[in-house]
Structure 1
Amino acid sequence: MLFFQLALILLASKAAGSLSVRLKQPAVLGKLLVGIILGPALLGLIHETEVLEALSQIGVILLMFLAGLETDLEEFKQSGRSSTYVGFLGIILPLGLGYLAGVLLGMPVLEALFLGLLLSATSVSISVQSLKELGKLKSKEGATVLGAAVIDDVVVIILLAFVMSLAGGDVHLGMLILKKVLFFGAAILLGWKVIPWFMRKFTVLRVSETVVTAALISCFLLSHLAEYTGVAAIIGAYIAGISISRTFYKTIVTEKVETMAYALFVPVFFTTIGLKVNFSGLWSEIPLIIGLSLLAIATKLIGAALGAKASGFGWRSALGIGSAMVSRGEVALIIAAIGQEAQLIPDGLFAIIVIVVLVTTLVTPPMMKLFFADPKPENAHN
């Protein structure tokens, strides 16, 4: 059954991506819709399994690793101010209005605060693909989005620890912050000195494909280190990509990892997002789903866009940056699962939140297409 599912995913994903481009939309939109069509929401041909989830995780890791490989480090350094503005304003607005929405829905203060925190999360794994297709990944806007995503991840996780401590969870806020500081310190050291040295030493082994193997080892180890210290694994993969981009192995690693990622793992990642959609028993909650979706989209779009505008971008670029921050993706789903386990999200609301997160993910590519002014593809993968 697994082999049939993989064949169906790859066939449908590539066909839908091509159709999406013909309709003048980013290819990633079609790939996301494939999961909804093939999954439990409609045809029911494919269901989530542990194997597909594992392949999906590799897909998102490789996607962010490639984003790191293609990052202009000098542009990234120069975007620090704008990334900070985008990151913080992109948290403040959804946090505040999300909390207010929770209060209006009759939620206790702590649950309402958790809802606001959940809406503050962001995941740019989908946005990275759209940035590539729109020719913006190596631009100032792209560097700002990626930098803001790192800031958003760290701040939201620290706020999550604070809320969990108020809820009586076994969370030591000071230790959690220390672990994050240690991660970024270790990641910078590894990326600057250790990974380039490891690449040189490993590639002299007299076996095949040592260059790409060494790159993948670096990617997966930094992803694990990030996850272990409470930072999203995709941040570790991104830093590993930046590290290798500073070496003369960059071109060959990019070419080989792109082939591997876009042939199998990335299509599975996009498809499994759609597999999470299931409208069973939720039809009566459609007004709430629509309301929370609009709130999630508007607060992140406006907050991040205001941050970009305040840092010197024009309105069109600012709205493009804001739209790239809208997707909550796997980061919000992980936070929602933590909240459900801590009883900060009622079971009925959890299913609604999952749909809202997926809506934010689906609207991100066409919004980016709308706002970014110069849609010249760098290297679109259909």
Structure 2
Amino acid sequence: MNESITFLQTGLPEGPIVAFTILLLVSLTIPPLFERLGLPGLVGLLLAGVLLGSNGLQLLDADSETMKLLSDIGKIYLMFVAGLEIDLVQFRKKKHRSLVFGLMTFIVPLATSMIIGRFFGFGWNTSLLMGSLFASHTLLGYPIIQRLGLVEKEPVIVTIGATIFTDISALLVLAICVSINAGDFSVYSLFQQLVALAIYTAIVLFGFDWIGKEHFRRTGDDEGNQFLFVLLAVFLASVGAEIIQVDQIVGAFMAGLAVNDVVGNSPVKEKVEFVGSVLFIPFFFVDMGLLLDIPVFIESLTTSFWLTLAIVVGLLGSKFLAAAITKVLYRYSFNEMMVMWSLSIPQVAATLAAALVGLQVGLITDTVFNSVIVLMLITSILGPLLTGKFAPKLPLPKASPKISQSKLWWENHRFERLEEQEPAPFRIVVPVSKSQTKGYLMEMAALLARHQSGQIIPLSISPAHTYMDEPQMQVNLRQSRRLLNKALTISSEFDAEAKPILRIGNDIASGIVHTAREQDASLIVMSWRKNTGLRARLFGTIINRVFWASHCPVAVMRLLDEPVNLRKILVPAKNFSPQTIRTVRFAQLLADTHQGEVKLLHVCPAKTASSDIAAIEDEYINMLNVTGGQVKSEVQVIKADDVALAILKVAKLADMVILRSLRRRTIAGLGVSDITTQLIKELTCSLVLFGEPY
């Protein structure tokens, strides 16, 4: 074994590039492997760090300048993303109750951990830091809540809001503990520290927010410049925290909160989180593994077993007590309390980052640090498991749709033409290309336009050349005119008015959205185009970019038959929301063009009670009544744990499935859920992906 390690060490060149390459390989391969085993990917990164460190293959050195730099960037990025992902809108909805639960789930674990620390012989400062480590939490179970459509439930909103209070408070306690540990602590110095921290917090939270909004307003669509501004804000805030003698992670978290409102759910946020999640944050977890001393870790679980057990049990018990107190105060049900508890259990982001700081400054011992790792492993697995167990038992939020919410986008948003001062007519922009061998897309657009007494705008974008008199330019223009003439022929067959437009340009997505804006279009109808090439992965697909940039709804269609034959339309619905209502309305509109029918499908968890299913059916029936559609419509609610498989089974009897897309963009494609992604791949019938303006 030692000979193999020596061979690996001598066979590899030294330098930062080698370390960076190894880290990239680990980040690429390890997390997906562990997620297939049902374990968090970060567990695999920690174990990879152990394997590659001084106790294993010795290929990476935690004390090297390269690892220190990458780990520090990852630590800062981790806390920045933690602040960026906090939903301030949800917090404002129930801010008072959020503060109460935040206070409970901060003070109770803080006091419990301090008692444990003192009992095992640690000093007051170390005990206080231990308490702050366990008072915060990471919302690992939130994706489960999103999938079940429970984001609007009050206990969920309260727990999300409490995250802001617990994380900020924990980081402030960390800053005080580090200051005390430095030896220059006094009442006056504490006062100075708090004043400096208050001024710094105001500058970051309000100053960065104002400057960010101004910068984004001035730069418009320059995403690269905006991305660099966000990065500058993160590291500027981190440097500022060091200037006032506060740890970098405090500044990074504050920066995340500050630019939260600025970036919203924009493509810039996607890019920032993407860079962090695939590069620097995994590097941080690998470095955590490098710092794990396996002999000491094993000793911690043997000789210091009771300390580790006390920390784990103390954390779980104190978080449970905090949720129970909140339950009594606000009369939540048992299942609601358990969901709040399960969401507040995981100790990952703030806990690990603060623990590393405490270890580096000598505030906590290796034994406590190893206990924190054990706590992270247990809570990161237990928390989501409990969320998955109790969240399905919560009733879905009651639907309270208003009449305005049932209207489609163009029924609520009519642009006025300046010269006539009257609402613009219903217009559909339909990009045409030579890849569309059949005219199904134009036929669908013609049916919609005729039904709405509107107009089709067939659009062809011819590639630009440096010189407009190049022979290839003439060939391209001739081909575009042929496509537009074909579109006109189909429009006339369906008795729909058409106004063809030919544009010259190399950016097809911009040409589509600019035309739609110039023509006050009500809808863009596009053909599905599967593109997984390198260019698409780097810059996004045309469909993806149109989805994000368009001012009006976009319907991306994969039509396998003539539209008049697509009579049975299926609409999977995840929850009661205005977006769901309008998606159903759009399905009813499509069906009404050729006497079709609509089925609304909702999939409940397998353990849902029959009474809850009946209540959900009534809610969806009421939703259909509100939409006021004259199309034959029905509701089907079924029980299944595999949502995608259940939808696929029902879809076998449908001619078309309409799915809703989130109006956001990712690096590699449309911003849709994992279930929607699976459905797109496996559905064998016609498909429509419907998205509305952000």
TM-score by length of 2: 0.46
Aligned equivalent of 1:333: 356
Do the aligned residues in 1 keep the contact of 2:75 with 2:353 (CA within 8 Å)? no
Among residues 114, 125, 145, which one is paired with 2:163 in the alignment? 145
Distance (whole Å) between structure 2 residues aligned to residue 41 and residue 379 of structure 1: 38
Among residues 41, 62, 66, which one is paired with 2:55 in the alignment? 41
Distance (whole Å) between structure 1 residues aligned to residue 146 and residue 316 of structure 2: 18
Q: Which has the larger radius of gyration?
A: 2
Q: Establish whether residue 88 from structure 1 lines up as the match of residue 107 from structure 2.
A: yes
Aligned residues: 358
Change (3 A) 1:28 1:125: farther
Matched residue type, 2:48: V
Distance (whole Å) between structure 2 residues aligned to residue 84 and residue 117 of structure 1: 16
Do the aligned residues in 2 keep the contact of 1:133 with 1:378 (CA within 8 Å)? no
Deviation at 1:275, TM superposition (A): 0.5
Counting aligned pairs with the same residue, the percent is 23
Q: Establish whether residue 264 from structure 1 lines up as the match of residue 264 from structure 2.
A: no
**SS of corresponding position for 1:154:** helix
1:103-135 CA-to-partner distances (Å, cap 9, x unmatched) read: xxxxxxxx532342232132899936x356655
Change (3 A) 1:359 1:285: closer
Change (3 A) 1:85 1:18: same
Distance (whole Å) between structure 2 residues aligned to residue 320 and residue 13 of structure 1: 28
Q: Establish whether residue 22 from structure 1 lines up as the match of residue 36 from structure 2.
A: yes
Counterparts of 1:51-62 in structure 2, within 5 Å, are 51-62=66-77
Deviation at 1:322, TM superposition (A): 4.0
Change (3 A) 1:308 1:50: farther
Q: Establish whether residue 116 from structure 1 lines up as the match of residue 138 from structure 2.
A: no
Do the aligned residues in 1 keep the contact of 2:347 with 2:380 (CA within 8 Å)? no
Counterparts of 1:1-382 in structure 2, within 5 Å, are 1=14, 2-48=16-62, 49-77=64-92, 78=95, 79-102=98-121, 111-122=122-133, 127=138, 130-131=140-141, 134=144, 140=157, 141-158=159-176, 161=179, 164=181, 169-171=184-186, 172-201=189-218, 203=219, 209-247=224-262, 250-280=265-295, 286-312=301-327, 314-325=336-347, 328-339=351-362, 350-373=365-388
Deviation at 1:216, TM superposition (A): 0.9
For structure 2, the 5+ residue unaligned runs are 1-13, 393-642, 644-671, 676-694
Aligned equivalent of 1:108: none
Distance (whole Å) between structure 2 residues aligned to residue 22 and residue 262 of structure 1: 18
Deviation at 1:210, TM superposition (A): 0.6
Aligned equivalent of 2:464: none
Deviation at 1:86, TM superposition (A): 1.2
Greater mean deviation of Cα atoms: 139-148 or 177-186 = 139-148
Do the aligned residues in 2 keep the contact of 1:75 with 1:143 (CA within 8 Å)? yes
Aligned equivalent of 1:106: none
1:188-221 CA-to-partner distances (Å, cap 9, x unmatched) read: 32144233224445x379x982110011111211
**SS of corresponding position for 1:71:** coil
Q: Post-superposition, which runs of at least 4 consecutive aligned residues in structure 1 deviate over 4 A?
A: 123-126, 131-139, 168-171, 280-286, 374-380
Structure in which a larger fraction of residues adopt helix: 1
TM-score by length of 1: 0.80
Distance (whole Å) between structure 2 residues aligned to residue 117 and residue 278 of structure 1: 25
Distance (whole Å) between structure 2 residues aligned to residue 304 and residue 36 of structure 1: 30
Distance (whole Å) between structure 1 residues aligned to residue 224 and residue 267 of structure 2: 10
For the aligned residue pairs, the C-alpha RMSD in angstroms reads 3.5
> Which of 1 and 2 has higher RCO (CA within 8 Å, sep 6+)?
1
Deviation at 1:91, TM superposition (A): 0.8
